Amino acid sequence: MKKILLLLTLFCTTMTQAQNPFLEKYNTPHGTPPFDKIKIEHYEPAIMEGMKQEMAEIDAIINNREKPTFSNTIVALEKSGELLERVTTVFGNLLSAETNDEMQELAQKLMPLLSEHSNNISLNEKLFERIKTVYNQKASLNLNTEQAKLLDNAYDGFVRSGANLQGEAKDKYRELTAKLSMLTLNYSQNSLKETNAYQLVLTDKSQLSGLPETAIEAAAHTAQEKNVEGWVITLQAPSYGPFMQYADNRELRKELYMAYNTKGTLNNEYNNESIATEIVNTRMAIAQLLGYNSHADYVLQKRMAENSDAVYNLLNQLLDAYTPAAQKEVKEVEKLARETEGNSFELMPWDWSYYSNKLKEKNFNLNDELLRPYFELEKVKEGVFGLATKLYGITFKKNSDIPVYHKDVDAFEVYDKDGKYLAVLYTDFHPREGKRAGAWMTSVKGQWIDEKTGENSRPHVMLVMNFTKPTADKPALLTFDEMDTFLHEFGHGLHGIFANSTYESLSGTSVYWDFVELPSQIMENFANEKEFLHTFAKHYQTGELLPEAYIKRIVDAANFNVGYGCLRQVSFGLLDMAWYTRTTPFEGDVKVYEKEAWKKTQILPVIPETCMSTQFSHIFAGGYSAGYYSYKWAEVLDADAFSLFKEKGIFNTDVAQSFRDNILSKGGTEHPMVLYKRFRGHEPTIDALLIRNGIK
């Protein structure tokens, strides 16, 4: 009987593995995930098996009778968990890009298990003892730069994950980290669900007054998709943005603005106020358990900024430099509004996009709809890919045999200038209900080099965005800002594509958080360059090149409302720091605390009901807690770095090669300031940014 049961068990296990694509070798081009075969029921058993395999690998490290060495401990740890990484990477990416209720329920179930599994490794005393033994011998190991960095990261990672905690403190750490993983998941899911739940249904065409034809067509297309009569405006960026910018109906602008800016505050199941509070307090508690005063102190120890004083120094410099310009900009917009509406008119937040756009049209004869016909998505794609070809010699070839997770997704093979395969790049451009808001770069496979064979295992990179969709009559026509966002995310993509490290954990975008935006933001500089725009920007109907007069207007308008835009970013940085420099638990009103935190940056009337903290996924559910300042930090870097391209020529291949060799391919193998100085020759200052913005 036992023999029969054993055979049945073996048979069932074999059948399960054969039917689960995660548990067998991917029979796909370049070993890409078989998205066409992956089903929801495959995730849980593959994750459970992945955790089981990783624990067996950890046990093998611990039980190795040989003395701890860099190879048998640090490298062995680096190589462990391959299956779990493979499954959770796909699951996590689709949870953001193509989710549904069943996926979200599964995430609720799996998150505590994954958190516990992670803690079982990071709090393993015997494993840490081996790591510490190797770390203490570091000076005598003759490690190269990358090996030394891997050892430092392994040791620091364990210490920063509670390895030195004892007894009740270790139990408390487990409890808090498990709690945090669920809180951030719930926060993110609430935000997505509330965004999807809202729709502004318009049935009278007069309500569409002022909207360009592209926005009206998109609203009609959305209504058809939702089986609703008339036109539908949503809170997704390609719908919300144009309505706020062009709709003449002020009451409808206010209604939409309030719907967007009160997300997570309403008396419904998606309220995030208490969750945001718990996230802040839990992160503070974890940091203090580990010996830090605040979460910001914990985070900034591993950032270029190093401490909160440096962050506040940057934010306050920007605040001082840009506030006069911002105040002047608001007065100019308000003056135009009063010329139209009367001297008693008070400019409100829901008026800002509308009237600032009218002022931009008046001053520069420029608006999104004038430029949109020249930015057909397919042409923009050719232009952005072509820019990489000009700079780095790489080429892109669409491969329809590579499985994708949605019909809107394309997969490209990327080849180096010598013709060698370099990476797979997935592009996913349009919004849908299963995709969270925003734009991001990620990967479903990292890069590493096999130290035994020398094989360079190349990455699979993903660019996910929410751009204007095509309609029945028109292809996808992007705004200038959407084209700029494409360049930004593509810069992150190049950071992943050019990765060339021995160890995956140091590869590509695995760098300090306030350095990771340099490769993306430097690409945005090309958006204002005629030489680049004329490589692709052609009218989608006539084929006419983007007129030079339009490009001059783009350049002239590049710093339009730059002060207001800077203060907006500074406000987010100040809010982030206010939450995460706390040393005592927060027990107050989230909305009131927020408004106090960023009051120095607010130059439009403040609306008491609105709240950013309940929908600020970057700092509450993403990786930017105590790190949102990094966008402005990196802007200082990118302005300084791009000045070298401007000096030598924007397509200068020598400068590009240096940027590739010293920044893009190095990942986190060295301190970012060392890498930056190797490329630029000096440390950056704020001056290049002030000059670029016309402030200095």
Q: From the candidates 278, 329, 489, 635, give the one annotated as an active-site residue.
A: 489
Nearest alpha-carbon partner for 165 in 173, 175, 157: 173
Written as one letter, the residue type at 90 is V
8 Å CB contact between 476 and 470: yes
Nearest alpha-carbon partner for 302 in 115, 515, 517: 515
Q: How many CB atoms lie within 10 A of CB 355?
A: 21
Can 146 be counted among the known catalytic residues?
A: no
Distant-in-sequence, close-in-space partners of 2: CB < 8 Å, separation ≥ 6: none
DSSP result, 155-203: HHHHHTTTTT--HHHHHHHHHHHHHHHHHHHHHHHHHHHHHHH--EEE-
What is the spatial distance between Cα 397 and Cα 519, in angstroms, rounded to a whole number?
23
Written as one letter, the residue type at 321 is A
What is the spatial distance between Cα 63 and Cα 14, in angstroms, rounded to a whole number?
29
Tokens representing 632 are 């402005």
Give CA separation, 359 vs 335, 362, 367, in Å.
Answer: 10, 5, 10
Q: How many CB atoms lie within 10 A of CB 193?
A: 15
8 Å CB contact between 424 and 32: yes
Give CA separation, 278 vs 157, 186, 671, in Å.
Answer: 24, 11, 33
Tokens representing 247 are 């709709």
What is the spatial distance between Cα 488 and Cα 542, in angstroms, rounded to a whole number?
28
Nearest alpha-carbon partner for 368 in 209, 239, 255, 478: 478
Q: How many CB atoms lie within 10 A of CB 524?
A: 19
Written as one letter, the residue type at 176 is L
What is the spatial distance between Cα 253 and Cα 354, in angstroms, rounded to a whole number?
9
Helix or strand holding residue 77 (H, E): helix 76-79
What is the spatial distance between Cα 113 and Cα 651, in angstroms, rounded to a whole number?
49
Distant-in-sequence, close-in-space partners of 168: CB < 8 Å, separation ≥ 6: none
Written as one letter, the residue type at 251 is E
What is the spatial distance between Cα 96 and Cα 617, in angstroms, rounded to a whole number?
12
- Exposed, middle or buried, 475 (CB in 10 Å: 0-12/13-18/19+)? middle
What positions carry a catalytic annotation?
A: 489
